[in-house]
Amino acid sequence: HQTAIIVVAAGSGTRLGYGIPKALVPLGGRTLLEHALDRIQLAGCAAQVIAVLPENDEGLADHAAHHPLHPHIVMGGATRTDSVRAGLGALGPDIQRVLIHDAARALTPPETFREVTAALLAGAHAVIPVLPVIDTIKSVTTDPGALQPHVTGTPARQNLRAVQTPQGFDAPILLAAHRAAAHWDQDRAEAVTDDAMLMEMIGERVDTVPGTAQGLKITTAPDLALAESMLSASTP
């Protein structure tokens, strides 16, 4: 009855704009991938760690291979979903629970990994870290011909949450959900933006645990600057 953690790090980091894979970008002297692996090691809840890396990037493969966790390394795909699927393909036979984590959330604290794992051990089939939403969110029209979209509704903000990773799952059920999605047409497949959504689509309940400010996804240059300041505030 073991837990695995898959760290997806195969993206290119186009919006960050460093010209290197985002997981290789340094933050306070360590790469984003190393920061993520450090916190997974501190959490101490995984029997297997899988790092999903871009093809043909020796630098990142080197950093992963030399990390004390010695993650199992697999090559990612064209989309995040493809990369998750590649990681799932490397799960060991005894794995009962799997956490899927974005290397881009390099500063997610060990406690979040532990809380997600604890919820799974308590019987949840799917669990995600969430934060309340600060902005008011509107839905809008998306017809390609229109000059500017117009508002179609305002979901009640108290019912909305922003979603982070690691997302934790019962491994056999998540594998079944991924197998079902493998046959979907492109439009339907592209609408899937996280793994919890696949579980929702097969009728599984998704539970939540509290997310953290440090769990922010480093997407753009200002996000990296914010992460730098969080890191220097936490290291004396």
Task: Give the 3-state secondary structure percentages of the chain, helix then strand then coil, rounded to 5.
Answer: 35, 20, 40
Q: Cα–Cα distances in Å, from 133 out to 156, 165, 167? A: 10, 16, 18
Instruction: Please say whether the beta carbons of 35 and 117 come within 8 A.
Output: no
Q: Which two tokens stand for residue 32?
A: 């984003």
Q: Nearer Cβ to ligand CTP, position 8 or 198?
A: 8
Cβ at position 95, least distance to ligand CTP in Å: 19
Q: Nearer Cβ to ligand CTP, position 72 or 121?
A: 72
**From the list 71, 76, 129, 215, which residue makes contact with ligand CTP (rule: CB under 6 A)?**
76
**From the list 29, 78, 122, 236, which residue makes contact with ligand CTP (rule: CB under 6 A)?**
78
Instruction: Please say whether the beta carbons of 57 and 67 come within 8 A.
Output: no
Binding flags for Mg ion, 1-30, as an x/- string (CB under 5 A): ----------x-------------------
Nearest CA among 230, 202, 232, 212 for reference residue 165: 212
Cβ at position 22, least distance to ligand CTP in Å: 4
Residue 112 sits at the vertex; the CA angle it makes with 132 and 174, to the nearest 5 degrees, is 90
Residue 9 makes contact with ligand CTP by CB under 6 A:
yes
Residue 13 makes contact with ligand CTP by CB under 6 A:
yes
Please choose which of Mg ion, ligand CTP, none residue 104 contacts, taking the beta carbon within 5 to 8 angstroms, the exact cut-off set by kind.
Answer: ligand CTP
Residue 83 makes contact with ligand CTP by CB under 6 A:
yes
Nearest-angstrom CA–CA distance, 194 and 197:
6
Cβ at position 230, least distance to ligand CTP in Å: 17
Cβ at position 104, least distance to ligand CTP in Å: 4
Cβ at position 11, least distance to Mg ion in Å: 5
Binding flags for Mg ion, 162-181, as an x/- string (CB under 5 A): --------------------
Nearest CA among 51, 97, 52, 106 for reference residue 76: 52
Q: Nearer Cβ to ligand CTP, position 67 or 80?
A: 80
Nearest CA among 68, 67, 72 for reference residue 33: 67
Cα torsion 24, 25, 26, 32: sign? negative
User: Which residue ranges make up the site for ligand CTP (CB under 6 A)?
Assistant: 8-15, 22-23, 52, 76-80, 83, 102-104, 217, 219
